[in-house]
Structures are given as C-alpha cells and as structure tokens.
Amino acid sequence: MLVYILFSVLAVAAVLLASSTRIVRQFERGIVFRFGRVRPQVRGPGLAVLLPVADRMQKVNMQIVTMPVPAQDGITRDNVTVRVDAVVYFKVIDPVLAAVTVQDYQFAVGQTAQTSLRSIIGKSDLDDLLSNRERLNQGLEMMIDSPALEWGIHIDRVEIKDVALPESMKRSMSRQAEAERERRARVISADGELQASHKLAEAARTMSDTPAALQLRLLETVVEVAAEKNSTLVLPFPVELLRFLENATGNRFVTGPEGHGTVTEQVNDVTGRERLS
C-alpha cells in the first residue's frame, strides 16, 4: 500500500513538473502571466520553469517578419490612377508591449502599411513613384514606424515593389519619350550643321586669301573622284583660273551663271578699234 501511494505521488509530481516546464527556442522570448498579470522578467532561450496552475507563458517570435502589402489603388497628386504594392520588414523589439498592448501586432502592422501606402500615393506625383522611390520608401517607413513603436515593433525597411499604370498612360508616356528623343536628335543635327557652317566659312576665308589653296582642293577632289573608277569625270573649272588666263593673255572670258567657264570670246584690241572706226 505504501509503495502504491509513493508511485502515485511520483506520478503526480512528474505530471506537474512536465506541465510547468517550457522550452523557449533561440529566436523566441517567453512572456509569463502569473494569475493574469504579466511578469516583468522575460524568459530567454532554454528551459523555463513555471509555477503550476499559476503561470501561463506566451512565446513571441523575435525574427524579422516579411509582410507583403496588397496592391492599393489610388490617384496621384497629378491625377493619374495607379496601382502600387509594397513589402514591409519588421521585428519585435519589446515582447511585453507586443503581447500586451496590441491584440495581433502582425495584423495591426499590415493595416497601418496599407493606409500609409494609400496616403503616400495621394501625396506623390507619378514621376516620384517611378524614379524617386528611395525617398518615398523612407517616408513610408516613418509613417508606419511611428505607431508601431508604441506596440514594441521596429520597422526595419519598407520598399515599393511595383507601380502598375493604365495602358492609355503607358502609350502616352511612350509617345512622349519618342517625341523627346526626336527633339534631341534634331537639336544635335542642327548643332552639327551650325558647327560645320562655321568651319566652311573659315575655310572659304582661307581659300580667298590664298588662291593656290583652291587649286590644291581641286586636285584632291579629282583624286577622290578618280578613286571611284567612274566612266564619266565631271571637273569644275574655277573662275580664278579664268581670271588668271585673262590677265596673262589679254583675252576676255564670259562665265556662266554659276561661276564656271561656259562660253569664251576673244576680242583683239586692233580689231576692236577697227570696228569702232
């Protein structure tokens, strides 16, 4: 009979010991409630012993949580309808506040992230959403982190993942980009023609001061044309050469409208005097 009572006591003690011990993993912290009141001491990783019947433990995960924010429809400040989604990275820094202050801190952070994202959309322009996301991410992080600190939550980072635009807006932006590229091409072409005109004017002034330079340029043109092995060679006749011949021989040459020698007429001074007489 005594042995039976001893075994019964040992069995009850084993059951109580098993029910009063908890294992806290490395990435968790244990919050102990004794008769409904939270204990200030947080149980760390390892074996935690509780008072039977009096204590209850709630484990809080201290890992970084990755929470996708559902896509939110909104109208930007410049009246463009967009659909934006994001992702929030957060972790618990105060397990007591996270367990006591808010009923479900993950749901609370998710709702705050959605409302903050819609607010950011309404305050931003379309160009900011597409090209200035770093600043928007920082602003969104501050908006979510402000109430989350009261819950013992720290927002590690917030990132806007995608900005969906209507098809009509995509076509308009494509036409705008094409027109901008065409404008730049025309400006570059006009600038090249302006620089070329300056160089040509400078070359013309140099050739006018040195007539021999025009002859050298003529010979270079002949060499370039001859390199093509064409059957017909068109050779322009410069006016300066006609003037040189006129001064040397005393003959008078009649030039065409384009400045090239077309018709020549030789008049002798003596014959001219006879005609006049």
Q: What is the pLDDT of residues 105-150, one digit of tens each?
A: 999 999 999 999 999 998 888 888 888 888 889 989 999 998 898 9
Asked if 245 and 251 count as a contact pair (C-beta separation under 8 A), the reply is: yes
Amino acid at 248: A
Enter the tokens of residue 54.
């009096």
Asked if 57 and 22 count as a contact pair (C-beta separation under 8 A), the reply is: yes
Enter the tokens of residue 206.
């140099």
Per-residue pLDDT, 50: 82
* Among the listed residues 137, 119, 126, the one whose alpha carbon sits nearest the alpha carbon of residue 163: 126
Per-residue pLDDT, 262: 40
71 vs 22, 85, 160, CA distance in Å? 40, 4, 10
pTM for this structure? 0.60
Asked if 132 and 77 count as a contact pair (C-beta separation under 8 A), the reply is: no
Amino acid at 77: R
Lowest-confidence region among 60-74, 87-101, 219-233: 219-233
- Strand partners for 45: none
Separate counts of helices (H) and strands (E) for the chain: 9, 10
**Strand (E) or helix (H) holding 32:** strand 28-34
| Angle, alpha carbons 34-38-44 (nearest 5°) | 95
Based on its alpha-carbon atoms, the radius of gyration of the chain, rounded to whole angstroms, reads: 47
Q: Provide the b/e sequence for 116-146 (b: ≥16 CB within 10 Å).
A: bbeebbeebebebbeeebeebbebbbebbbe
* Among the listed residues 42, 45, 53, the one whose alpha carbon sits nearest the alpha carbon of residue 19: 53
CA atoms within 13 A on the CB side of 116: 26
Q: What is the pLDDT of residues 204-247, one digit of tens each?
A: 887 777 777 777 777 777 777 777 665 566 666 666 666 766 77
Enter the tokens of residue 166.
């209507």
